[in-house]
A = this chain, B = another copy of it.
Amino acid sequence: MEAKTLNRESWLSAAFSALAEGGVEQVRVELLAKRLKVTKGSFYWHFRDRMELVEAMLEGWKTGRIEAIKAQTRLDGRTPAEGLRYVLSLYGGSSNPRGIAIELAMRDWARRDPRASEIVAEVDRERLRCVSDLFAGLGLDSDDAFARAYLFYSFIFGEGLLARSAAPDRFEKARDICGKVLVPEGV
């Protein structure tokens, strides 16, 4: 049962798909219209212009990601180490490729747009805070915990950047070992 009429969410969803696949440059109203099988008449009903769509994307992404990291690091019975391994697994490997693609596209966007940069910074601040707390829960002092969180997220994002085809057969094992280094067993 398809919704017979589009709404803001339909356009936003399509916009995020376009962002994931081709970067900000590819979220263009006529391309989205084609994808949604309508004309841009529909778009300019739901949005004032392209800027408004783009702004809605930024805001939506920000609140969504901040809610997500808070939920993901709320350890209900889990130990801090388990929590860290869980967060790592969410972005690791080939799980959630769309999420990784959006994450990378967002950051590339942030490199040239101050508005996007601001949003990414807010999200990063929250994320670093949350996983810093987990590392602190392992017994590390404030500076070490922050540094570990910094390493943790640099690895997660950087992994998405490393060419998978550079040595496909060795990556899985490497990831496992990295996991052990990133979240130490005994501290």
Contact = CB atoms under 8 A, between A and B. Distances in A.
Contacts of A118: 165
A131 interface: no
Contacts of A120: 163
Interface in A75-119: 101, 104-105, 107-108, 110-112, 117-118
A177 B111 contact: no
B104 A165 contact: no
Interface residues of A, number: 52
A22 interface: yes
Interface of A is mostly: helix
Interface string A160-181: 0111111100110111111001
Given A173-B143, A181-B151, A121 B165 contact: yes
A128 interface: yes
A126 B155 CA distance: 20
A43 interface: no
Given A121-B165, A123-B163, A147-B174, 11 more contacts: A21-B112, A23-B108, A105-B108, A117-B163, A128-B167, A144-B177, A146-B173, A147-B173, A151-B178, A151-B182, A155-B155
B22 A163 contact: no
22 contacts: A22-B112, A23-B25, A101-B111, A108-B108, A110-B163, A118-B165, A121-B163, A125-B167, A128-B166, A143-B170, A143-B173, A143-B174, A146-B167, A150-B159, A150-B174, A150-B175, A154-B154, A154-B155, A154-B158, A157-B157, A157-B162, A158-B158
Contacts of A133: none
A163 to B, nearest CB: 4
A43 to B, nearest CB: 22
A159 B166 contact: no
